[in-house]
Structure 1
């Protein structure tokens, strides 16, 4: 990259700062700069992004904001779940503050007053979806691998994931959420997580174009037709298999389908945390009926605070990341043993002072 690095990344040398800001012509380029961790988000990074975006919104010289990730592996591999595990097992509250600020950032991106171009190249997981898929212009490539893997660690798709996935065509979002599946660039466009397909080798050129030319002209120079979506082709059996509002009925419907992929999906769902799957399904159905992303984020915040103090979330992180034995001991271990009361408890209102109070989308947020 050329250009000047902004003082947004204070108290750190520009090359070492976790978020870099470069002004290039009419564009401001924000780079997530932790390539060895696939740019996984920290609380500091969330704060730097929030501050930068608010400053850029008021900068008349900036007409478009671009988000990209450093390195070749991906835009962002999610958040620091090791730190979350520490809070879950010690009673720490840092994760609560991180999620609150992260969700505020997600809502800011969704309502951003200038074009926000997210380059979703390579791996985009969890929190990486939150800083990209809510943007107004979402670009994927042949290397894109987007995932919301939360149910595999006893968690729920958050950062507005329940809002995004609940509004995918049919039950494709339900399928992705409950199986903790990944989608490629073509699938992402098909289910509404992305807008434009660009060859990864053309991304630097796209940034150059955005710095010099209007948005539509820049995109028109490099955008290509995406391949056919394999996920979209699966919609008939996915819609039939994931239509129910009870996980047990979903599993039964999938087992009755003749397609081998349906049986594989049932096995994938059954292997995830039964509690997390049941909570996720209810959260998706609730988000689908909501009127705004902000409502869904408030619901997610209630859920994740309960999961932080539950059993399956820290156990899932232990099994997948800490001990890496890949053998989580879910409690309860079966969908048949997850009661309605257990699921409902995750959705109960918090104390008023702890609720996520995001501005109504019809109100202009003070910058």
Structure 2
């Protein structure tokens, strides 16, 4: 072996070692809570807090956003895939406890997290390259924001989708005012007010996911995705279609058709009070269950959410996010968010003391003020 070959071999080993080190640094620089990898021409994001069901915090947001912007400009990145670590959740929501503590202490996290999360949601909604969210497991709140605005959302039989915010004195944010009123009939309003949980195939059937794939095929699907050469959106769609198992018409009609019918009949109303009246008059098992559910929710959140869905139907995603930032800050100034988190997540007595405690106690003026401009503090996209 000549000295030149020895030198070339050394340089190759050094280059490979450098690539491994760079890859490791790329994967760990977010404090391991979110991992980034380049696999072929695909950028892969892994939410890496499995013990916390991959709940999204500000540190993760501050790493995901610049990485997405970087990959969007990188000519060697053709596709982005986002997934959750572990076998239980894609992302079960935001770091609610941290926001609660910050709000009580007057910390700026209550502004920063919502602002930066919504900016990230908008980035995903306007992303130019194929963006594939593998929502294999629990997908709620902040996890919905990381997936729903992307072009492709792949559900599995383990997917559990919900926007349960009215139960903790919030509202279905992260662009909920945009995608929920665009679902069929009154389904979006129903999901927003009640926090109803959709599972598995139904998530795709109602249009929240674009595809349904069995969870044991997700690893194979991801491999085939990263093997695509310079894929267009249509290339990705064609691959996802090849993995998708078709569901029978009878199945689709029995549950989803009935749900849509019930939602349209009972939730077509001009106010939350009218919806409650519809439910009581109906008297069916479904109606009684929803009456019971809504009675547990924050009256202020219910009225905020009803108005949010009404307004959002006519807005762009960007306009909705500006509106929702105003609502988030109104909730941070109020009582019900802190009380809801106490009752549901901290003390777990499931008995929140809402203020006001009734729908009639929530004035139109109070709701109107929540939608008011924040002036210089408004969200800017």
User: Does the alignment reach a TM-score above 0.5?
Assistant: yes
TM-score normalized with structure 1 length: 0.92
Are the counterparts in 2 of residues 8 and 52 from structure 1 also a CA contact under 8 Å?
Answer: no
Are the counterparts in 2 of residues 6 and 20 from structure 1 also a CA contact under 8 Å?
Answer: no
Shift in Å at residue 219 of structure 1?
1.5
Which residue is equivalent to 1:90?
105
**Structure 1 unmatched runs, 5+:** 359-367
Aligned counterparts, 1:93-242, within 5 A: 93-213=108-228, 214-226=235-247, 228-229=251-252, 230-242=255-267
Distance in 2, matches of 1:25 and 1:307, equals 44
> Per-residue CA shift, 1:56-91, capped at 9, x if unaligned?
111112111100000111100111111111122222
Shift in Å at residue 272 of structure 1?
0.4
Which residue is equivalent to 1:288?
313
Distance in 2, matches of 1:73 and 1:341, equals 42
> Per-residue CA shift, 1:135-169, capped at 9, x if unaligned?
10110000000111100001001000121111111
> Per-residue CA shift, 1:201-225, capped at 9, x if unaligned?
0111011000112424432332112
Which residue is equivalent to 1:361?
none
Change (3 A) 1:152 1:59: same
Which residue is equivalent to 1:305?
329
Which residue is equivalent to 2:294?
269
Distance in 2, matches of 1:274 and 1:236, equals 25
Change (3 A) 1:10 1:216: same
* Alignment partner of 1:344 is 2:359: no
Distance in 2, matches of 1:8 and 1:232, equals 46
Are the counterparts in 2 of residues 57 and 113 from structure 1 also a CA contact under 8 Å?
Answer: yes
> Per-residue CA shift, 1:268-307, capped at 9, x if unaligned?
11210000001100000000121x1111111100001010
* Alignment partner of 1:78 is 2:93: yes
> Per-residue CA shift, 1:114-139, capped at 9, x if unaligned?
00000011100100000001110110
Shift in Å at residue 185 of structure 1?
3.0
Matched positions, count = 351
Distance in 1, matches of 2:116 and 2:321, equals 11
Which residue is equivalent to 1:363?
none
Shift in Å at residue 187 of structure 1?
2.5
Distance in 2, matches of 1:46 and 1:172, equals 29
Are the counterparts in 1 of residues 27 and 37 from structure 2 also a CA contact under 8 Å?
Answer: no
Are the counterparts in 1 of residues 343 and 352 from structure 2 also a CA contact under 8 Å?
Answer: yes
Change (3 A) 1:220 1:191: closer
Structure showing the higher helix proportion among its residues:
2
Query: Which SS does the other structure have where 1:225 is aligned?
Result: coil
Are the counterparts in 2 of residues 164 and 192 from structure 1 also a CA contact under 8 Å?
Answer: no
Distance in 2, matches of 1:55 and 1:167, equals 31
**Structure 2 unmatched runs, 5+:** 1-19, 229-234
* Alignment partner of 1:355 is 2:370: no
Distance in 2, matches of 1:276 and 1:217, equals 41
Distance in 1, matches of 2:105 and 2:257, equals 43
